[in-house]
Amino acid sequence: MMDIELTCPLGSKCEEIKDNKLHRCHWYTQMRGIDASGNDHDSYKCAMTWMPILMTEMSGTNRGQTMALESFRNEVIASQNKALDAVMEHSNARIIEAK
């Protein structure tokens, strides 16, 4: 098996020491959080590396929100239908009594 060496497509280094100073790329980003398994994470990676991970997380969050909104919509429609049925029964009773 070959060793894999990751390199920057822009030809830069995330961090390097030059002139007794630590030079850090602006895109070198720290992310802290808890994954779906409940494990804590705290790591640095290039912002370009984080993009697919964050996009996947956003997609999952959006799916959850969409399902919640659809459920809410269904409940509202069911409630409106019950209210309409009650109004229609009441109005039909008046029509029948008036005749």
pLDDT tens, residue by residue, 9-53: 888 888 888 888 998 899 999 999 888 789 999 999 999 999 998
Q: Say if CB 30 and CB 43 are below 8 A apart.
A: yes
pTM for the model stands at: 0.58
* pLDDT bracket for residue 3 (50, 70, 90): confident
Locate the domains of the chain by residue range.
15-98
21-24 and 40-46 beta bridge pairing: unpaired
Q: Say if CB 80 and CB 72 are below 8 A apart.
A: no
Kindly state the tokens that stand for 28: 């070198």
Q: Say if CB 44 and CB 56 are below 8 A apart.
A: no
Query: 50-82 burial by CB neighbour count: b if 16+ within 10 A, else e?
Result: beeeeeeeeeeeeeeeeeeeeeeeeeeeeeeee
Q: Which residues does residue 34 pair with via DSSP β-bridges, in sequence order?
A: 40
